[in-house]
Amino acid sequence: MASAGEIKIRIGSIRQTKKVTDAMYMISSVKMRRARREVASTEPYFSALKEQIRELFQYIPDTDNRYFRAPLPQGRRNRRRGILLVTSDKGLAGSYNQTTIREAEAYMHRNPETMLFVVGERGRQYCQNKKIPIVEEFHYSAAFPTVWEARKICTDLLEYYDAGQLDEIDIIYTEYQNGKPAQCQRNCLLPLERSQLCPTLDEPPQTGKEFFPDPDTVLEGIIPSYLTGFIYSCLVDSYCSEQEARMTAMSSAGKNAEEILKKLQMQYNSLRQAAITREMVEITSGAKALKRKREKNQSGGQTF
């Protein structure tokens, strides 16, 4: 059994660890609120983009735009697929990273030739350790996502798509749901579905608007901005889910630390009480021994 001194040192160590977990909980809370404020400030812009696309479809009965689903070229049976996997840069977030990584592994098991694009250092480290091939030059951080970073990611993915190296690109991320458990999602980035952007197709076209040079060309220019907004939304959702997972993990660690401290404190108090009792017994025994010795000496002197 550990001594009282050893237990006291362990109590101090756990208290210091609990201070760290409490601080990480507060930091994650602040980061999540900040990210939600930033995404809220950009929502009107991307909502207006989607509304503009919906309006454009009123003037385009049919489109052969390359961003929309089209049949494969003659002689090719399988689609060239790509996955954008969003993970975190740091750990201590429960099962946040493992859930998305398992989803990506399952998808790649079904489609072995898939090209993997990874956002976040934890995902890259996992793939390197497991010898999973990834696109090495695609190197982006998951911390503090911005529209500018989402635009760069979108540009890189479109280069592969426009070059014909990919026919389909999916994104795997963690959807943030306020007050509910986060869920791993896999959504298709490209090619787009017309129903995905314009649920109602039977509206008559509005009059009095002209698109230069034509609606299809305008659509061609708007789609990359729409994809940027979609990627940005996924990055922020994943970032908020990461912070919430870390808050949950740190809260659980803090509660476990309190329970351990309670048990250690009881052990320490028990050992301390036993030591005090032992000292009192020794003092009492010593006092009795001295008293007996004194009485014996006094008794011996009178007899003499």
Average pLDDT, the chain: 82
Q: What is the DSSP letter of 208?
A: S
Pair 71, 105: CB distance under 8 Å: no
Asked if residue 302 has pLDDT above 60, the reply is: no
Question: SS3 of 166, please?
Answer: coil
Give pLDDT tens digits for 223-272: 888 889 889 888 988 888 888 888 888 888 888 988 988 988 888 888 88
Q: How far apart are CA 234 and CA 138, in angstroms?
A: 17
Global confidence as pTM: 0.79
Hey, which CATH number is domain 16-254, 3.30.565.10, 3.40.1380.10, 3.30.460.80, 2.60.40.10? 3.40.1380.10
Q: Does the pLDDT value for residue 177 go beyond 90?
A: no
Beta strands in the chain (DSSP E): 81-86, 115-119, 168-175, 183-190
Residue with tokens 């999973």: 132
Q: Could you tell me if 261 and 21 are in contact, meaning their C-beta atoms sit under 8 angstroms apart?
A: no
Name the region of 134 (left: φ>0; alpha: ψ -120 to 50; beta: rest): beta
Q: Where are the domains of the chain?
A: 4-12+255-303, 16-254
Burial of 218 from C-beta contacts in 10 A (0-12 / 13-18 / 19+): middle
pLDDT digits (tens, 9 = 90+) for 137-151: 898 998 888 889 999
